[in-house]
Structure 1
Amino acid sequence: MILLVEIILLAIALGLSIPCAFLGLECLAALLSDRAQRSTLKTDLADPGNSAAPDVKTAVLVPAHNEAASIEKTLETLLPQVAAPESIVVIADNCTDDTAAIARQYGVTVIERQDSQRWGKGYALDYGLQHLEVNPPEIVILVDADCSVAQGTIGRIARLAKFSNRPIQATYLMEQPANPGSKDIISTLAVTVKNLVRPYGLLRLGFPCLLTGSGMAFPWQVIRLVSLANSKATDDIQLGIDLALAGHPPLYCPQGQVMGRLMGQASAKRQRSRWEHVHLETLLTQTPRLIRAAIAQRRYELLALTLELCIPPLSLLVMLWLAATGSALLAAFLGASWLPLFILGVAGLIIAASILGAWAKFSWAEIPATALLAMPFYLLWKIPLYFAFLVRPQTMWRKTERDPEPDKAQTDERAIVNTGSHYSKS
């Protein structure tokens, strides 16, 4: 019986050590960047020299569902970065507010879509791509309608997409809501680690990244390899995986930045549930597919992408580590081997060093050290979220009320990003 327990605990310890080791590797690569590289990463995007329109034919698709409260801010950050307002295409998808009318005031192209049976971001983007087929651009850029795009971003990711012939992902971070609580602050740190530190480390290691959502650029021929129209909502992680398997792995562009906004407490739990359920579902369904392709095609970058996908959300990784470590400690006191506990101890040190290192280098100015003390309570708050994934994962489009902008009283709604997949036409 003891031998069986030891084998099980050793398997669990080794299984957890793999994503922990890769997390540590990519975070270490990001942390060891020299002063010049750090300066490049934090390029002043407000420099007028960086705000010129891209010298490649570019179209910016902005899918919008009832975004009257935020579409103006998004367009105001986009317009200085394009050659002509008409190259920005707002897809007003099943809107019941003034989104389309507000967008038209800025001179951008506005197309409206009404379909009560097929609605959501995926269908909206597919509708926008069909609109562009008459006179296709060289590069298509996708930006959510509730984001601010830093000056220079559009030109940078457009040129990089054309030069590399690969999908490009800009840095996609989250702005905290007004009067943020400890959960919001720690969630912001988690997004920074996931969407900035880890992709930056992958870039320095020469590996591709996962797509994280808004701020994505695609060569026209590449984006048309896949179908975005689906009965489920669009899944950016799945899109990146399908394109990587098709020979076009995504590339991270640290000099581009898109800023979204975390919802307030009223909607934060649903928002984070969607983000993490999609990751878990994709991890479970796509890891075997990536491993088979990496072996069959002998492509190391697919193996790196598999390891990146296998890192669960940080809060879940810590929970799994705590449960495994507690079990290994109890078993060791009852006479089992101490080896699983030793392996888990090393893995725990890697997790802690990765998170603290990322905070110290990339987030210390925005996130006070005292906020890190709330992490145990944040983990407790997350337990029902992961239990819900086992019982009723969020896989379909739903509507949710967005909390008001800090400077507005108007309530905004948006379509929710899902956990769906099925991008490939094949």
Structure 2
Amino acid sequence: MLAFLQTNTPIVIFNQIVVTLLTVCFLYQVVFFVIGALRGEVAPPKAKKLHRYAFFIAAHNEEAVIANLVRSIKDQDYPSELIEVFVVADACTDNTAQLAREAGAIVYERNDLARKGKSWVMDYGFDRILNEYPDTFEGYFIFDADNVISRDYVSKMNDAFDQGFHVVTSYRNSKNFGSSWISSANATWYLREARFLNNARNICKTSCAVSGSGYLISASVIEGMHGWQFHTLTEDIQFTTFCAIHGIRIGYAPAEFFDEQPVTFKASWKQRMRWTKGFYQVFFTYGKHLVKSTFRYHRFAAYDMFMT
């Protein structure tokens, strides 16, 4: 009896309650995993229309990689006249702007040292594009400078976009899977995120989540904001949360792009600390709105993001 009381102290009981509660709350992700494993990848029907797109790339001192991405965009099996590439060279001290132009991109050079960060670069770039190319594009792809896309990327994304989604995300693969156990672990996580989360969410007709880069946004969304209004450390999660609250369903397409993953534990730790701070920013800004959207409007996507 004494042993039982010693092992069931208030803190142990509290921990057991918390573990049980979290298990119940996250059980739906087990369902997603099973669905992703059994149903395979989604395959949207071929698009009835070839839409016109712009690629948006924020770049800071990326002369080593920027041309590779622009060339992979220019080499798509999609009509080249329906694709334009914009690079915002942000406070660069190298040849990023020149190499991007030589590869075929339209380049804007920005030197605002007071408002640093990708989100402010996006706000600046979208504002210029909307003013200089009004009513030209139907959607915008968001990419980081170190990415490279597969040759059928735009075609697959266009198939999903043509189904009526305002936002579509894709599959982030790794450029350096075997560089270290850190890069391998990151690549495995993104495989899980694509196949067993976003793919399953799409099958279940709930909303997916965008992650960093490799996603497509309808021009109507960008035009509504006339730029980019999400400025936390994790603007991608902030945007996803905004969509979940307002009932904007994010779709998924098995279109593949390749991303550079951290190789060292130090680099990975620094990245994740920034993400953690960003998650707190989003939670304290949108937490009550997620709860309201979950219970009042019965939006499962809001519950999903609250758990995230």
Range into which the TM-score falls when normalised by the shorter chain = 0.7 to 0.9
2:23 partner amino acid? S
1:203 partner amino acid? N
Which runs of no fewer than 5 residues in structure 1 stay unpaired? Answer: 42-49, 312-426
Partner secondary structure for residue 56 of structure 1: coil
Change (3 A) 1:152 1:295: same
1:186 partner amino acid? A
1:27 corresponds to 2:33: yes
Change (3 A) 1:90 1:147: same
Change (3 A) 1:181 1:94: same
Distance in structure 2 (CA, Å) of the matches to 1:87 and 1:18: 46
Residue equivalent to 1:15: 21
1:285-342 deviations in Å (ceiling 9; x for gaps): 5444212112222334433x33xx514xxxxxxxxxxxxxxxxxxxxxxxxxxxxxxx
1:170-222 deviations in Å (ceiling 9; x for gaps): 11233336x63333323322232224321112122222111112111111112
Alignment of 1:401-416 (within 5 A): none
Residue equivalent to 2:204: 205
The answer (yes or no) to whether the contact 1:175–1:259 under 8 Å persists in 2 is yes
2:58 partner amino acid? P
The answer (yes or no) to whether the contact 2:234–2:278 under 8 Å persists in 1 is no
Distance in structure 1 (CA, Å) of the matches to 2:83 and 2:183: 37
Aligned-residue offset at 1:91: 0.9
Alignment of 1:242-261 (within 5 A): 242-253=242-253, 255-261=254-260
Deviates more, 1:269-278 or 1:60-69: 269-278
The answer (yes or no) to whether the contact 2:171–2:194 under 8 Å persists in 1 is yes
Alignment of 1:258-273 (within 5 A): 258-265=257-264, 267-273=267-273
Residue equivalent to 1:160: 160
The answer (yes or no) to whether the contact 2:233–2:277 under 8 Å persists in 1 is no
Residue equivalent to 2:115: 118
Residue equivalent to 2:216: 217
The answer (yes or no) to whether the contact 1:122–1:228 under 8 Å persists in 2 is yes
2:156 partner amino acid? R
Residue equivalent to 1:139: 139
Aligned-residue offset at 1:284: 6.0
Change (3 A) 1:173 1:18: farther
1:80 corresponds to 2:75: yes
1:19-75 deviations in Å (ceiling 9; x for gaps): 441221111110112xxx45959xxxxxxxx9x9x8212111111111101101111
- Pick from 57, 60, 63: which aligns with 1:65? 60
Distance in structure 2 (CA, Å) of the matches to 1:230 and 1:213: 13
1:12 partner amino acid? V
Distance in structure 1 (CA, Å) of the matches to 2:93 and 2:82: 24
- Pick from 90, 93, 97: which aligns with 1:93? 90
Distance in structure 1 (CA, Å) of the matches to 2:82 and 2:221: 24
Residue equivalent to 1:185: 184
Distance in structure 1 (CA, Å) of the matches to 2:296 and 2:42: 40
TM-score by length of 1: 0.62
RMSD of aligned alpha carbons = 2.9
Partner secondary structure for residue 163 of structure 1: coil
Aligned-residue offset at 1:139: 1.0
Change (3 A) 1:249 1:233: same
Change (3 A) 1:11 1:202: same
2:263 partner amino acid? G
Aligned-residue offset at 1:164: 1.3
Aligned-residue offset at 1:99: 0.5
The answer (yes or no) to whether the contact 1:208–1:249 under 8 Å persists in 2 is yes
Distance in structure 2 (CA, Å) of the matches to 1:39 and 1:230: 29
Deviates more, 1:205-214 or 1:154-163: 154-163
Residue equivalent to 1:56: 51
Distance in structure 2 (CA, Å) of the matches to 1:230 and 1:219: 16
Distance in structure 1 (CA, Å) of the matches to 2:230 and 2:237: 15
Partner secondary structure for residue 251 of structure 1: strand
Residue equivalent to 1:274: 274
Change (3 A) 1:138 1:40: closer
Distance in structure 1 (CA, Å) of the matches to 2:41 and 2:244: 28
